[in-house]
Amino acid sequence: MNLGNTSVLLIIEGTYPWYRGGVSEWTYQYLKAMELYDFHILQVATDEFQQLDPENALYPLTQNVKSFTRVPPPILKSNWDTVKETWFQSIVESVPGFGFDTVHVTNTGFAGWLGIKLSKIFKTPLVLTEHALYWKEVEKGAVALECGYQIPDNFEAKSEIVDIFKEIATEVYTSAEEVVSVSRVNIPEQIKFGAEVPKYIPNGIPEELLSPEKKRANNPVIGWIGRCAEMKNPKLFFEVVEYFKDVDLEPSFLMMLSGANELELEEEVEKLSKEYPEVTMIWNEPAHNYLHEFDMICITSHNESQPLVMFEALSHKALPFGWEVGDLTSEFGFVVPKNTSTRTLVEQVALLWNDSEKFEELTESKFNLVSSKHTWKSIFYEYDKLFKELLIEDSL
How many CB atoms are closer than 10 A to CB 70? 19
Cα gap 234→257, rounded to integer Å: 9
In this predicted structure, what is the pLDDT of residue 19? 79
In this predicted structure, what is the pLDDT of residue 18? 84
Q: Domains, the chain, ranges and CATH?
A: 3-204+375-395 (3.40.50.2000), 207-373 (3.40.50.2000)
Per-residue pLDDT of the chain (396 residues; tens, 9 = 90+): 444 579 999 999 877 898 777 888 999 999 999 999 999 999 998 766 667 778 888 899 999 999 999 999 998 777 889 999 999 999 999 988 878 999 999 999 899 999 999 999 999 999 999 998 988 887 777 666 665 566 667 767 778 888 999 999 999 999 999 999 999 999 999 999 999 999 999 999 999 999 999 999 999 999 999 989 888 999 999 999 999 999 989 999 999 998 887 899 999 999 999 999 999 999 999 888 999 999 999 999 988 888 889 999 999 999 999 999 888 999 999 999 999 999 999 999 999 999 999 999 999 999 999 999 999 999 999 999 999 999 887 665
Q: Which residues on neighbouring strands pair with residue 150, listed in sequence order?
A: 144
Extract long-range pairs of 79-84: CB within 8 Å, 24+ residues apart: 80/164, 80/167, 84/113
In this predicted structure, what is the pLDDT of residue 260? 80
In this predicted structure, what is the pLDDT of residue 146? 62
In this predicted structure, what is the pLDDT of residue 3? 47
Question: For residue 216, is it left (φ>0), alpha (ψ between -120 and 50) or beta?
Answer: beta
What are φ and ψ of residue 40, in 5° steps?
-115, 115
How many CB atoms are closer than 10 A to CB 273? 19
Cα→Cα distances 25→1, 2, 22, 286, 376, Å: 30, 28, 5, 11, 11
In which order are the strands placed within the sheet that holds 334-336?
279-283, 252-258, 221-227, 296-299, 319-323, 334-336
| pTM, full prediction | 0.85
